[in-house]
Amino acid sequence: MARTRSAKAAPAAGGDQSEPVVSKSRYALPVDSKEPSRVFILPTKATSAARIVLLPNPRYSKPTRYLLCPESGLYEFTQIAAPKTTPRSWLIERKHATPAAEEAELPTQITNGADLFVATPVDPLFLVLPALLATPAASKSNDAKRLFLTSEDHFDSISDSGSTHFSEVLRCEKTRALFEARMGVICDTVEAGDEKMFRINEKKLMGEILSKARALSSTSLPPSMEDRFVKKVLEAPLSVQKSDVVKTETKPADTVPVIESAESQSSASTVDSATTVDSTNSSASTASTAATSVNGEMVEDSVSSSMKASDDVVALQRLKVAFGFICSSYVSPNAATRLEGLLREQAMSGVDFTPLETYLAELAKLRAEAASARSMADYSRKRHLDDEQEEARAEKKRKMEEEKKRKANESRGVKELKKVNTSGMKKLSEFFKKK
């Protein structure tokens, strides 16, 4: 009997076939952490006593991480995210600062994302502002109904939730003094024995926020805000205006044809009056000219901006945008609405926004006229095209009716002759050709 070679080697005698295969890889991959490391950029002014704490967000009262340093102040974290289309990561190498740290395990690691958290200064005033603006349930939101309260009373209303570290950070005397010093800037104060009592003054609050807004808009806003909330808002539509008429010599029509511009061909009404075109739908960025022929005379049309905001108007718009940005970032929605209303009152804010309001009113009127002129031009152009289509349809219908009548008047003999197969027959004209 022939012997065959086995496909698998026989296991050793007494060996356990269920033993797992041990990996002999040179490197062992660590287990992914549920809380991966993050990269924070902290200010150099922060001391070793600085801590990351949870404090109520002044806008929505949600617990938010801040960096609090008793010496240099309060910082918020601004997240700079990497593009999602390009996955990135950080390779973090920890260096041993002291010989004692060498004994600890400080491995090099790679983060899952490339986001940065930059600590930027924020005024502690905004964190206590919700407590200062709070009023009793039976009173209205004016200064006459608000009472003088101690700083402890205001702080207790903030730390009642218990989900933040606000009460713990106030145990530090320097931190408490920092908050009280900022409260004194926007509050009226009175001395009651050994304690100082505070009541918010809305005029002082407006002055403090306006000073921050002026600092933000002193030179220029960030490019995205400047383009969207200043240039686009103050940009006036472009207008086409007729200039002086330039006379030209009239030549016979059979030698030199009269060439009209696209504007005169589309509608005659746009030749007699100035046509206003919205700048958002026009690609012209600078003034230009175009020549139009009207009855043998050349009319020069100049395209230019009908209005231009002055430097004072631009500065007021920047100040308004900066004030709104601060309120929308660090003030509660109800309080922000009230502060933006007080901004328009010159007695409260000390700023006269009349030039800006006048310019915006004239600009709104001009844009309405531009939209009306554009809609009339579109209607005229559409009506002209509709008339041409109607004439073409009428001409086609007339030809079809004539063909139908002609076929109806044909005799029976002609109809029968049309049915005859004439393939291979000579035409009648062949018999009358010259030989």
Alpha helices in 159-218 (DSSP H): 166-169, 173-186, 202-217
Q: Give the pair of three-digit tokens for residue 191.
A: 């001395």
**pLDDT tier, 205 (very low <50, low <70, confident <90, very high otherwise):** very high
Q: For position 16, what pLDDT does the model report?
A: 52
Residue 298 Cα to chain centre, angstroms? 45
pLDDT, one tens digit per residue, over 5-47 is: 545 555 555 545 555 555 566 767 667 667 777 888 999 999 9
Q: Which residue do the tokens 């002026």 mark? A: 214
Name, of 144-153, 240-249, 355-364, the range with top average pLDDT. Answer: 355-364
Q: For position 35, what pLDDT does the model report?
A: 72
pLDDT, one tens digit per residue, over 117-163 is: 999 999 999 999 998 988 554 344 444 578 889 888 888 888 766 67
**pLDDT tier, 77 (very low <50, low <70, confident <90, very high otherwise):** very high
How far, in Å, are 66, 103, 177, 215, 270 from residue 124 at the CA level?
11, 39, 11, 18, 60
Q: For position 178, what pLDDT does the model report?
A: 93
Name, of 246-255, 324-333, 398-407, the range with top average pLDDT. Answer: 324-333
Calpha distance 418→323 (Å, rounded):
89
Question: Per-residue pLDDT for 104 more than 50?
Answer: yes
Calpha distance 210→342 (Å, rounded):
11
Among 53-67, 88-102, 164-178, 361-375, which stretch is predicted with the lowest mean pLDDT?
88-102
**Phi and psi, residue 242, nearest 5°:** -80, 140
Q: For position 204, what pLDDT does the model report?
A: 93
Q: For position 272, what pLDDT does the model report?
A: 41
Q: Which residue do the tokens 């200062």 mark? A: 132
Calpha distance 185→310 (Å, rounded):
34
- The share of the chain scoring above pLDDT 70, in percent, equals 69
Q: For position 295, what pLDDT does the model report?
A: 46
Q: For position 201, what pLDDT does the model report?
A: 92
Q: For position 215, what pLDDT does the model report?
A: 92
| Mean pLDDT value across residues 256-273 | 40
Residue bearing the bigger pLDDT, 357 or 106: 357
Q: For position 314, what pLDDT does the model report?
A: 92
Residue bearing the bigger pLDDT, 61 or 317: 317
Calpha distance 50→74 (Å, rounded):
9
Q: For position 390, what pLDDT does the model report?
A: 78
Q: What is the pTM of this model?
A: 0.63
Closest CA relative to residue 76, chosen from 58, 100, 91? 58
